[in-house]
Amino acid sequence: MPLIGVVSLCTGRIEKVLIANRGEIACRVMQTAKKMGVHSVAVYSDADRHSMHVAMADEAYHIGPAASQQSYLCMDKILDVAKKSSAQAVHPGYGFLSENTEFAELCKQEGIIFIGPPSSAIRDMGIKSTSKHIMSAAGVPIIEGYHGEDQSDGKLQSEAARIGYPVMIKAVRGGGGKGMRIAHSEAEFHEQLESARREARKSFNDDVMLIEKFVENPRHVEVQVFGDQFGDAVYLFERDCSVQRRHQKIIEEAPGPGISPEVRRKLGEAAVRAAKAVNYVGAGTVEFIMDHNFYFMEMNTRLQVEHPVSEMITGTDLVEWQLRVAAGERLPLSQKQIVLRGHSFEARIYAEDPNNNFLPGAGPLLHLSTPQGDQCTRIETGVREDMFSPFASSNGRRFNVLHCRNLTLQLGDDSKRSCSDKHTHTTGGQVFHVSGELQMEGDVTYLWCSVNGVLSRPKLVILDNTVHIFSMEGSAQVDIPVPKFLAGVSGSSAQGGAVAPMTGTIEKVLVKAGDSVQKGDPLMVMIAMKMEHTIRAPKAGVIKKVFFKEGSQASRHAALVEMEQEEGAGEE
């Protein structure tokens, strides 16, 4: 099915839109706005002055320091820019103010179109306990749980016992995996409850919780819905988002595999009932968990990261639909006109460390290379290589240094000195005849090589003193040894203590000097990448010194506490 035709908005109401967000979603909205002839306005913090979305916009306005509470979450600043720029509408993207009822109301009061559902729908579906009651009344299947007003520890724990472990503890205003914990037994319920509450307060300024039966090994299936201002609503089929880590989606697939046409129809119809129950307008997602049946989980009252997989199987542009519906137009297609064709996948690339249990990472983006987009491939991004990066200006040609000087390469404990592009190497009793050369294709460097007559063409990236090699068979890295005169210069981690596994903010300090701890006891709670992480004692001992206070920033590998062996205790 072809994309909806590109014409001007028939009402003429939206000629300029402010995107109150950053990164990939801001760029995504701007692409469609440009296609439709709608001018785009960007806002940016100090940290995003040189970001891609700022460069793409027709206009851009600075709104404050890097902290989101003083920039992207500051409603007055966003509305002030909307007035200054004469933008008729605000697109909130996802996250930040996208599901904020107060912001939607303020836009309405100021005569600015909020590209999203009415504030009443955001409120009703944003509070999980309220949404469960509404869904039950609308005939949408819900899972057993407790959504009551009594939030005392005793009541929540007794309800968890009634429901039966394992249970899911969820913030009623949660989303994106934040404020969500699993308690597998009564013994760990209190710790998980407190952790969920802390994260919910930090993320949503609300620590009200609900308890639900945790369905082990379920499928996470969500339905894309869309409503207009005339009371009509449609579904654009389902996405399977079951592949997750720390409640963060990794792979999304549309349509859901193994779902029969009958179940697909029932899912879609249930999602439309959910949308109509709250007079929904715009793009939304109704999330279900599935085992033998399906149960309502929550509704996201906004566009989601994974909306492109739904667009690809229906031939639609949901951002265009958002702009048209917000301007007062009817839905571009009826339910019968929405046809499912093909299959699509979305893979998210996270800033994580695969060698450190995939913990979140932070830092400059030194190298970025993606496939070329075409009719079957979409690259949704809002980032570029760091402009302090040598690859941003050198076009990768610094790799040619391999041709003009001797190198000693280190692979594990084995090293090899090479002074040409051909050599013989012996390891493990085997002899390898190796030859190769570097070749550039655009910004990408490839290593054309032959090992005992077998040709390969892996991609080559050099960062710091490491050569990274990527091929269809996997990846490897070869270190360039640090010269002896530089050895030992790098900082050391805490000897006999705990170190920060990533860069983050110390949310809570649980120990003090003189405390005795056992291996695995919680020492600190860190917030990194908007998620809470508990730092635990690597061994039993006594806390000698605590290096950070609550609210302070800790860099990756920074010493958090120093420990010493408890007097009279033997080595483990």
Same domain, 52 and 107: yes
What average pLDDT does this structure show over 293-297? Answer: 92
Question: What separation in angstroms does the CA of 509 have from each of 512, 523, 524, 525?
Answer: 8, 6, 5, 7
The order of strands in the sheet holding 233-245 is 294-300, 282-290, 219-227, 233-245, 248-254, 344-347
pLDDT for residue 221 is more than 50: yes
pLDDT higher at 53 or 551: 53
Say yes or no: 410 and 505 in one domain: no
- Given a cut of 50, whether residue 392 has pLDDT beyond it is no
Query: 173, 15, 47, 26: which is closest to 92 by C-alpha?
Result: 26
Domain boundary among 411, 446, 479: 479
CA pair distance 155, 558, nearest whole angstrom: 40
Instruction: Provide the domain limits for residue 301.
Output: 122-140+216-348
Among 294-303, 306-315, 352-361, the range scoring the smallest mean pLDDT is: 352-361
Give CA torsion, residues 209, 215, 221, 224, to 10 deg: -30
Out of 78-82, 174-178, 415-419, give the one with best mean pLDDT: 78-82
Same domain as 501, residue 475: no
Chain length of the chain: 572
Long-range contacts of 436-444 (CB under 8 A, 24+ apart): 438/399, 438/400, 438/402, 438/403, 440/395, 440/396, 440/397, 440/399, 443/369, 443/391, 443/395, 443/396, 444/369, 444/396
Helix (H, G, I), strand (E, B) or coil at 376: coil
The answer to whether position 267 is within a domain reads: yes
- Does one domain contain both 294 and 256? yes
Do residues 209 and 221 share a domain? no
First to last CA, the chain: 66
Residue 370, class by beta-carbon neighbours within 10 Å (0-12 exposed, 13-18 middle, 19+ buried)?
exposed
Q: What are phi and psi of 417, to 5 degrees?
A: -95, 130
Exposed, middle or buried: residue 131 (CB in 10 Å: 0-12, 13-18, 19+)? Answer: buried
Closest CA to 25 of 315, 353, 382, 313: 382
Tokens of 158: 């007794």
Strands (E), 215-301: 219-227, 233-245, 248-254, 282-290, 294-300
Q: Is residue 486 part of a domain?
A: no
Q: What does the DSSP 8-state code read for residue 318?
A: H
Say whether both 107 and 89 belong to one domain: yes
Same domain membership, residue 63 and residue 109:
yes
Domain membership of residue 366 (yes or no) is no
CA-based torsion, 368, 369, 374, 375: positive or negative: negative
Q: Does residue 196 share a domain with residue 268? A: no
Q: Are 346 and 249 in contact (CB under 8 A)?
A: no
Identify whether residues 91 and 151 lie together within a single domain.
Answer: no
Residues 203 and 222 in one domain: no
Determine the Cα–Cα distance for residues 75 and 96; give it in Å rounded to an integer: 10
Alpha-carbon Rg of the chain, whole angstroms?
Answer: 27
In a domain, 11, yes or no: no
> Which CATH number do you get for residue 51?
3.40.50.20
Alpha-carbon gap, residue 373 to 385, rounded angstroms: 18
Range with top average pLDDT, 15-24, 365-374, 408-417, 477-486: 15-24
Peptide bond into 354 cis (omega under 30): no
Asked about 302 being catalytic, the answer comes back as yes
491, part of any domain = no
For the whole prediction, is pTM greater than 0.85? Answer: no
Yes or no: say if 13 and 113 are a contact pair by the CB < 8 Å rule. yes
**DSSP letters spanning 54-87:** HHHSSEEEE---SSGGGTTT-HHHHHHHHHHHT-
At which of 173, 195, 213 does a domain end?
Answer: 213
Whether 433 is in a domain gets the answer: yes
CA neighbours closer than 13 Å in the CB half-sphere of residue 152:
4
Amino acid at 526: M
Pair 322, 4: CB distance under 8 Å? no
Least confident of 60-74, 252-266, 393-407, 435-449: 393-407
Q: Place 369 in a pLDDT band, splitting at 50, 70 and 90.
A: confident
Burial 89-123 (b: 16+ CB within 10 A, else e): bbbbbbbbbbbbbebbbbbeeeebbbbbbbbebbb
- What average pLDDT does range 434-449 have in this prediction? 79
Q: Are residues 289 and 340 in the same domain?
A: yes
499, 513 contact by CB (below 8 A):
no
pLDDT tens by residue, 172-209: 887 767 889 999 999 999 999 999 999 888 888 889 99
What does the pLDDT read at residue 523? 94
**Most confident residue range from 288-297, 317-326, 354-363, 425-434:** 317-326
- In the set 22, 28, 239, 302, the catalytic residue is 302
Least confident of 108-122, 469-483, 531-545: 469-483
Position 167 confidence tier, pLDDT thresholds 50, 70, 90:
very high
Nearest to 25 by CA among 97, 121, 128: 97
For 360, the token pair is: 């979140």
Is 191 part of a structural domain of the chain? yes
Tokens describing residue 387: 């402009």
- As a dihedral over the C-alpha atoms of residue 361, residue 362, residue 364, residue 365, rounded to 10 degrees, the angle is 40
Same domain, 319 and 188: no
Does 487 map to a domain? no
pLDDT digits (tens, 9 = 90+) for 237-270: 999 999 998 778 999 999 999 999 999 999 999 9
Q: State how many domains the chain has.
A: 5
Residue 424 has pLDDT above 80, yes or no: no
Mean pLDDT of the chain: 85
CB 541 within 8 A of CB 496: yes
Last residue of a domain, one of 99, 115, 131: 115
Which residues have CB under 8 Å from 532's CB, separation 6+? 195, 198, 199, 202, 507, 525, 526
Here the CATH number for the domain that contains residue 512 is 2.40.50.100
Burial class (CB in 10 A: 0-12, 13-18, 19+), 138: middle
The CA distance from 439 to 117, in Å, is: 52
Angle between helices 101-109 and 119-126 (to 10 degrees): 170
